[in-house]
Structure 1
Amino acid sequence: MTEITPIPLAQLTTLRTGAAPEQMLDATTTPELIDALRDTWSRGEEWFVLGGGSNLFAGDEPFDGVVIRVLTSGIERLPSPHEGRARVRVQAGHDWDGLVAYTVEHGLAGIEAMSGIPGTVGAAPVQNVGAYGQEIQSTLVEVELIDESTGDVSTVPAAELGLGFRTSVLKHHHGGVPLRRAVILSVTLDLADVGSAGRVVSGEQLRRALGLSGDAAEQPVPLEWVREQILWIRAEKGMLLNPDDPDTASAGSFFQNAIVPESVALQLPPECPRWPVTPDLDAVTVIPLGAYDGFIAPTRSARSDVKVSAAWLIENAGISKGFRLPRSRAGVSTKHALALTNRGRATAAELAELARFIQARVQSEFGLLLQPEPVLIDVDL
């Protein structure tokens, strides 16, 4: 590891806020990262790790602790125990979109709809990143991580990460602490090996985004085409980083799409976009032979939760694209109502004020409190 002169977080985060921390370390290899973490933990310092800085909202005051930059990289292809699939093990600091590009180039399907998402691979399982109906939990096999409490390195199956909608046991939620304080060192994914043939696009949300319907929705499409379309869509929404476009000075979607019970969704206007969060209809019931009495209780139909569009809620609460509070340098993207943008040297306080205003308007209009998606460091909402 290398100690460097601390760099202002405004220069290292896509939202462009944050002062220089007290101390900053660079780790370019996994052993360096392990050493940096163990040394920091042994001294009882406040700390956080920084990857691409695309999902971080840092406050205006200097962070009183250590920031460890994860600069590791590398992709290793591995065999899969499942026919027609392949695995990749990727270092935590590897660029996420670089990984997606690699999988598409090599005909590996499963994360192509997540093209263009900024940030690093190690951050992806922490908030279970997803886009257009694809989520990393669908392909994640395991992660290698190091626990703060013990300093031990272990391989943890995906099933033990508590993956949910934009969350996991590793995520630092505003107002709380992670259920498991640990840092991911590498990630292993299991992907469909479809080669150049492509595959049929599954999922209503992704089909809709790609404009596939009718017979076209039942035909295989090349992974390269899916990636190109998704990158174009994200660029049109200002969700691809571009130094010449102030709409991209953001943390992506600042608010999560709301997951609500079906009964709550029914109370929203019918034109509000929504997608069912499908329950597991193939769950297996295991009855020990010694306890089997010849009767199996009938299964109960489970109503699914519903994901509703936060962007629609914001716009229909009177917050239009390009909205700004008076005399503020923070504003809603002119292209996408979910992105809060730094329009030019905005402070974290200005962005937080805008976020709170949007939350209040949506809650007043629809009774739902939108939750922030980025990790907040020394910022209150």
Structure 2
Amino acid sequence: MLARRQRPRPDQRGRSRTLEPVQELHDAPLAPLTTFRLGGPATRLITATTDAEVVAAVREADAAGTELLIIGGGSNLVIGDQGFAGTALRIATTGFALDGTKLELAAGEVWTDAVARTVDAGLAGIECLAGIPGSAGATPIQNVGAYGQEVSSVITEVVAYDRSTGETVTLPNAECAFAYRHSRFKADPSRYVVLRVRFELEDADGLSAPLKYPETARALGVEAGDRVPLATARETVLKLRAGKGMVLDPEDHDTWSAGSFFTNPILDAEELAAFHARVADRLGPDVTPPAYPAGEGRTKTSAAWLIDRAGFTKGYGTGPARISTKHTLALTNRGEATTDDLLALAREVVTGVRDAFGVTLVNEPVTVGVSL
């Protein structure tokens, strides 16, 4: 059901002035707003197109004690089949502003479009994050990263509404507590609503940032640390992602997913030794699992490798939710799946990997009304 109501719009001193119609949907389907295309309806859905509308909607929900679900691009959400009993707030704000190498994005900007525009402008720093679905406002929450780049390396400030104080705050990079696929915003998801993200990019005369990811360098025929033309770097990453079903395509069910469903496990020295013992026992003493330094005596290994070696290969499954035919790290909706189908598959994978290697995988997408 569609309802239209009027909300006071504050002037610069916070006083109400002209009234503008605000569109609401009741018993609103949420599945179309997610890349999984899964999940039941929300009691109410509001779409906000300005920062002021975002703040007003959040304040209204908080004042009423109403449960609130923030939706951006929907690329990192797993919503239960029963839906969401509360207000879903879809952030559809727009704003792309470049000042030299400084970039400011409204939270609702489509991330992959923003990356393309920075490449066109000759600025390096996020070109290897091309093709990642979702909105700009989600990037600091997850500390989005791929192919050797993370947004934390170029974010200077995040503007957010702080629900605990009722104020809009500007958090510098050092206060965002960025870590691998983590941040202050993810650690306390009910506190902050991201409004704007500011970046400092690099003018490298049309060249990319130094390439850090071996697969990208190999695909380009260069060495790690080399620079290549920005457009070439972006196009190469898009091809690599598309080959893994990681670029949205409505006709390709391998992209009806949240991208990587599990984060790469990070193990301490004791956990790593136990893991290596399990690998040797299961696969033989000559098999060496992937390992990357993760700081402070910790090591990161590959979730995709674990899943594959535990027996969950590409295309695994016979039901409407299956592992992607292109990448073992993506769980997909083949068109008729429910969230329960997806979670059953996820639990099967988690249990199988734990039984095989003693490592517990952690889901990367945010779950709403459900859990693994």
Q: Percent identity?
A: 43
**TM-superposed deviation, 1:208:** 2.8
2:360 to 350, 369, 372: 369
Q: Distance in 2 between matches of 1:52 and 1:179?
A: 17
**TM-superposed deviation, 1:159:** 1.4
**TM-superposed deviation, 1:184:** 0.5
> Retained in 1: the 8 A contact 2:69–2:89?
yes
> Retained in 1: the 8 A contact 2:211–2:227?
no
Deviations 1:292-337 (A, max 9, x none): xxxxxxxxxx54x222110000010011111115xx3110001100
1:275 paired residue number = 292
**TM-superposed deviation, 1:216:** 4.4
1:373/1:217 CA distance change after superposition, 3 Å: closer
> Retained in 1: the 8 A contact 2:30–2:38?
yes
2:305 to 267, 291, 312: 312
> Retained in 2: the 8 A contact 1:331–1:354?
yes
1:357 to 336, 348, 354: 348
> Retained in 1: the 8 A contact 2:160–2:169?
yes
2:162 paired residue number = 147
1:182 to 192, 202, 208: 192
1:160 is aligned to 2:170? no
Q: Distance in 1 between matches of 2:222 and 2:67?
A: 56
1:350/1:213 CA distance change after superposition, 3 Å: closer
1:330/1:215 CA distance change after superposition, 3 Å: closer
Q: Structure 2: where are the runs of 5+ without partners?
A: 1-21, 280-286
Q: Distance in 1 between matches of 2:126 and 2:251?
A: 28
1:339 is aligned to 2:330? yes
Residue 131 of structure 1 aligns with an amino acid whose one-letter code is A
1:38/1:360 CA distance change after superposition, 3 Å: same
2:59 to 38, 62, 76: 38
> Retained in 2: the 8 A contact 1:265–1:308?
no
1:52 paired residue number = 73
**TM-superposed deviation, 1:99:** 1.2
SS in structure 1 of the partner of residue 201 of structure 2: strand
1:295 paired residue number = none
Deviations 1:229-288 (A, max 9, x none): 1000110101111111111100110000111125543543443222222x4xxxxxxxxx
> Retained in 2: the 8 A contact 1:313–1:362?
yes
> Retained in 1: the 8 A contact 2:217–2:224?
no
Higher strand share: 2
Q: Distance in 2 between matches of 1:250 and 1:179?
A: 22
SS in structure 2 of the partner of residue 124 of structure 1: helix
Map 1:149-298 onto structure 2 (within 5 A): 149-171=164-186, 178=188, 181-196=191-206, 198-199=207-208, 201-203=210-212, 206-211=213-218, 216-217=223-224, 219-266=226-273, 267-268=275-276, 269=279, 270-277=287-294, 279=295
Residue 201 of structure 1 aligns with an amino acid whose one-letter code is P
2:37 to 6, 13, 16: 16
> Retained in 2: the 8 A contact 1:2–1:27?
no
2:152 paired residue number = 137
Q: Distance in 2 between matches of 1:61 and 1:6?
A: 11
> Retained in 1: the 8 A contact 2:290–2:302?
yes
C-alpha RMSD of matched pairs (Å): 1.9
Residue 342 of structure 1 aligns with an amino acid whose one-letter code is N
Q: Distance in 1 between matches of 2:291 and 2:126?
A: 22
SS in structure 1 of the partner of residue 53 of structure 2: helix
Q: Structure 1: where are the runs of 5+ without partners?
A: 80-85, 173-177, 280-301
Residue 339 of structure 2 aligns with an amino acid whose one-letter code is A
1:294 paired residue number = none
2:49 paired residue number = 28
> Retained in 2: the 8 A contact 1:210–1:226?
no
Alignment coverage as a number of residue pairs: 341
> Retained in 1: the 8 A contact 2:43–2:86?
yes
> Retained in 2: the 8 A contact 1:201–1:207?
no
Q: What TM-score does the superposition give when structure 1 sets the normalisation length?
A: 0.85
Map 1:34-113 onto structure 2 (within 5 A): 34-79=55-100, 86-113=101-128
Q: What TM-score does the superposition give when structure 2 sets the normalisation length?
A: 0.87
> Retained in 2: the 8 A contact 1:91–1:186?
yes
Q: Distance in 1 between matches of 2:66 and 2:35?
A: 26
SS in structure 2 of the partner of residue 253 of structure 1: coil
Question: Deviation above 3 Å: which 4+ runs of structure 1?
Answer: 212-219, 262-267
